[in-house]
Amino acid sequence: MKREIKFSLVFRDMWQSAGKYVPTVDQLLQVAPAIIEMGCFARVETNGGGFEQVNLLFGENPNKAVRQWTKPFHDAGIQTHMLDRALNGLRMSPVPADVRQLFYQVKKAQGTDITRTFCGLNDVRNIAPSIRYAKEAGMISQCALSITHSPIHTVEYYTKMALELIELGADEICIKDMAGIGRPYSLGQIVKNIKDKYPEIPIQYHSHAGPGFCVASILEVCDAGCDYIDVGMEPLSWGTGHADLLTVQAMLKDAGYIVPEINMEAYMKVRSLVQEFMDNWLGFYISPKNRLMNSLLIGPGLPGGMMGSLMSDLEKNLESINKTKAKNHQPLMTQDQLLIKLFDEVAYVWPRIGYPPLVTPFSQYVKNLAMMNVMQMEKGKARWSMIADDIWDMILGKAGRLPGALAPEIIEKAKAEGREFFTGDPQGNYPDALGKYRKLMNEKHWEAGEDDEELFEYAMHPAQYEAYRSGKAKVEFLADIAKRKAEKLKATQSSEAAPAPVMAAVSAAPVEMSLPTTPQVMSVDVNGQAYKVTVSFGDTEAAPATPVTTDVPATPAPAPVAAAAASEEVLSPLEGKFFLVKDTSETPLKVGDAVKEGDLLCYVEAMKTYNAVRSEFSGTVTAIIPAPGDSVSEDDVLMTIA
């Protein structure tokens, strides 16, 4: 008789890999008892980077969400595990050491058992502090190998990394095959090498299904000694998601392994609830193409978790490109054409910037850089003409050591822009910050929360947390749902059909309105405060949808001063959210400030990165148009300078 294989349901990652969001707390608590009733899971992935930010966008408190969501699994004796991006914590950019340390204390207090730590560059220096912090907090430290396929990323490379992590104190190893492009035989060899030296160390395998290798890989790693397998389930398995529980269980049972039985009545409950959540509103953020297996993903090696949001964001990128093409009377591009161009550009960019493993945040950096190249070149501009600051930090070594060498063209560009390469410990670039955020919370009369969890959330996600506290995040989210539902109905109903009701709702906050043909004003209640939300619906065939506007109590934008006749406009280079600063270490520009050509003015956050906008001329700022956090479209005026 072969040994036992245990299953982990990656419930959070199922949603992230399909689209942009996860269910609300009420929905999570509704589905938890049925997941437990299935009786086949030793572990459930309950939270991580996406989970935290999504709850802030809903206007829900993510700390209360984690406490409520993990509790039923604890009560049932099921371990919970979460994502941990090492130097980046729960976000896309590096985190100060004191914030990282508080992270583990908070998550342990909230009920999370296991932290799955990975570095997007596989730099062990970035993971080592996380091992110590997790163990000091009483958590199980599971360290991940970020799997990719390149001339550099060999069996020997990953074996060496795993042994180093175990010697540093890792309790478990995760084979994190985030794009599903690990080759089955090689993955089996990595697991075998680890087990040969450390047979007592548990190994968990995580893979996405997209390219089609995952089922063969699961069998190989189990034959080599793997202990836990991450699985998904319908209707969010396969495609950019994970191998389905039923398939994996049947395959391993046939191979002679001891696997848990599944309560199929409970399985159908979970399946039905997940579909209900999708039909309610989450389905508006899930591309139908994310259900498909696609061997084209072998080439770019982009991870499943990123492909989910990519397919949703691709529409905005396509609109931007086609806006320029329409102006120049050129044929419009289709989404499939853009996707192929993007995949080809990823294959071009990746080796030239040192083969960073394609996992968060570096998969997004590579994809964003490739997408920016495609967009700029389609608009007649040069490749590499727009590189976000976070991407530069990766290239320069500030986020860790790149596995491969940079291409000469990248080194030359860095030198031409006066950028310096960094070879020291990345954590040293990011000084402690908890004192600063505690002071800000005191000034705002905000409580630090149980176990300092609100302080942690503010320090980890400053911009999102402020939008949550102001109510702006929830208002904009509700408005976006309303717009998407109305546009879908408008597209499917004939112009002669009677208007159908549109529900703009999350949980118990319904707002009804008729199918609109003109801008509509909704009233939305957020924590007892009434807000007016204007939602506009334009011509969906020729132009991008008109942005949602909201009347939200917030720090007002600086009032414009009278502009001189010769004032110059600073235009947004792309669609996203406007910010004057990206963190509290920077001083925001204000009306009346003098600027020189090349000075940093502001940022447009798009595709999870902050894109710096620099001045093309010298002068004095005469107006700042959007308020921080406002949505902007490409070519919107951000500032005027005279």
Assess whether pLDDT exceeds 90 at residue 515: no
| Distance linking the first and last C-alpha atoms of the chain | 80
Task: Look at residue 400 and tell me if it is in a domain.
Answer: yes
HSE value, Cβ hemisphere, 13 Å, CA-based, for 313: 19
Domain boundary among 286, 315, 350: 286
pLDDT digits 0-9 by tens, 49-67? 888 888 998 889 999 999 9
296 pLDDT band, cuts 50/70/90, is: low
pLDDT digits 0-9 by tens, 305-358? 555 556 666 777 777 788 878 888 888 888 788 888 888 888 899 999 999 988
Give the dihedral sign, CA 75/79/83/88.
Answer: positive
502 pairs with which residues across the strands?
513
pTM of the model: 0.78
- Structural domain that includes position 10: 6-286
Task: Look at residue 329 and tell me if it is in a domain.
Answer: yes
- For residues 19 and 105, state if they share a domain: yes
Mean pLDDT of 161-176: 98
The residues, any chain, with a CB within 8 Å of residue 508's CB and separated by 6 or more, are 26
Query: b/e map of 585-594 (b: 16 or more CB within 10 Å)?
Result: eeeebebeee
pLDDT digits 0-9 by tens, 239-269? 889 999 999 999 999 999 999 999 999 999 9
Structure-model confidence comparison of residues 387 and 218, the more confident one: 218
State residue 144's pLDDT score: 98
**String of DSSP letters for 34-53:** HHHHT--EEEEEEE-HHHHH
* Token duo for residue 20: 């942009």
- For residues 139 and 238, state if they share a domain: yes
State residue 240's pLDDT score: 86
- For residues 487 and 463, state if they share a domain: no
pLDDT digits 0-9 by tens, 14-30? 998 888 788 999 999 99
**Alpha carbon of 391 to those of 397, 567, 608: distances in Å?**
10, 32, 11
Distance between CA 537 and CA 491 in Å, rounded? 12
- For residues 301 and 408, state if they share a domain: yes
Distance between CA 345 and CA 339 in Å, rounded? 10
Assess whether pLDDT exceeds 50 at residue 505: no
Domain boundary among 226, 256, 286: 286
- What does the angle CA 362 – CA 368 – CA 418 come to, to the nearest 5 degrees? 80
Question: Which range is least confidently modeled, 125-139, 212-226, 528-542?
Answer: 528-542
Give the dihedral sign, CA 102/80/174/391.
Answer: negative
- For residues 461 and 383, state if they share a domain: no
Question: Which range is least confidently modeled, 14-18, 33-37, 172-176, 619-623?
Answer: 14-18
Query: b/e map of 301-332 (b: 16 or more CB within 10 Å)?
Result: bbbbbbbbbbbbbbebbbebbbbeeeeeeeee
- For residues 57 and 114, state if they share a domain: yes
Total structural domains in the chain?
Answer: 5
147 pLDDT band, cuts 50/70/90, is: very high
State residue 304's pLDDT score: 55
Task: Look at residue 561 and tell me if it is in a domain.
Answer: no
Distance between CA 236 and CA 216 in Å, rounded? 20
pLDDT digits 0-9 by tens, 552-563? 334 444 544 444
Distance between CA 318 and CA 321 in Å, rounded? 5
- For residues 452 and 477, state if they share a domain: no
State residue 561's pLDDT score: 46
Contact 304, 180 (CB under 8 A): yes
**String of DSSP letters for 44-108:** EEEE-HHHHHHHHHHT--HHHHHHHHHHHHHHTT-EEEEEE-GGGTTSSS---HHHHHHHHHHHH
Task: Look at residue 558 and tell me if it is in a domain.
Answer: no
509 pLDDT band, cuts 50/70/90, is: very low
- CATH number of the domain bearing residue 259: 3.20.20.70
Alpha-carbon 182 to chain mean position? 22
Question: Which range is least confidently modeled, 72-81, 564-573, 633-642?
Answer: 564-573
Task: Look at residue 205 and tell me if it is in a domain.
Answer: yes
Task: Look at residue 372 and tell me if it is in a domain.
Answer: yes
Mean pLDDT of 209-226: 95
Instruction: Spell out where 555-636 has E strands.
Output: 568-571, 576-579, 594-595, 600-606, 609-614, 619-624, 631-632
pLDDT digits 0-9 by tens, 70-114? 999 999 999 999 999 999 999 888 999 999 999 999 999 999 999
- For residues 394 and 251, state if they share a domain: no
Distance between CA 615 and CA 618 in Å, rounded? 7
Neighbouring C-beta atoms of residue 444, cutoff 10 Å: 10
State residue 301's pLDDT score: 64
Task: Look at residue 559 and tell me if it is in a domain.
Answer: no
How much of the chain exceeds pLDDT 90, in percent?
A: 55
300 pLDDT band, cuts 50/70/90, is: low
* Token pair 């949505």 in the structure block, residue: 631
Task: Look at residue 557 and tell me if it is in a domain.
Answer: no
Domain boundary among 428, 456, 490: 428
H helices of 446-560, where? 453-460, 462-470, 472-492
- Quote the mean pLDDT of the chain: 85
* Secondary structure in 3-state letters for 422-448: CCCCHHHHCCCCHHHHHHHHHHHCCCC
514 pairs with which residues across the strands?
501
- For residues 313 and 412, state if they share a domain: yes
- CATH number of the domain bearing residue 614: 2.40.50.100
Distance between CA 352 and CA 405 in Å, rounded? 8
- For residues 408 and 536, state if they share a domain: no
* Secondary structure in 3-state letters for 378-425: HCCCCCCCCCCHHHHHHHHCCCCCCCCCECHHHHHHHHHCCCCCCCCC
- For residues 129 and 228, state if they share a domain: yes
- For residues 76 and 205, state if they share a domain: yes
Assess whether pLDDT exceeds 90 at residue 135: yes
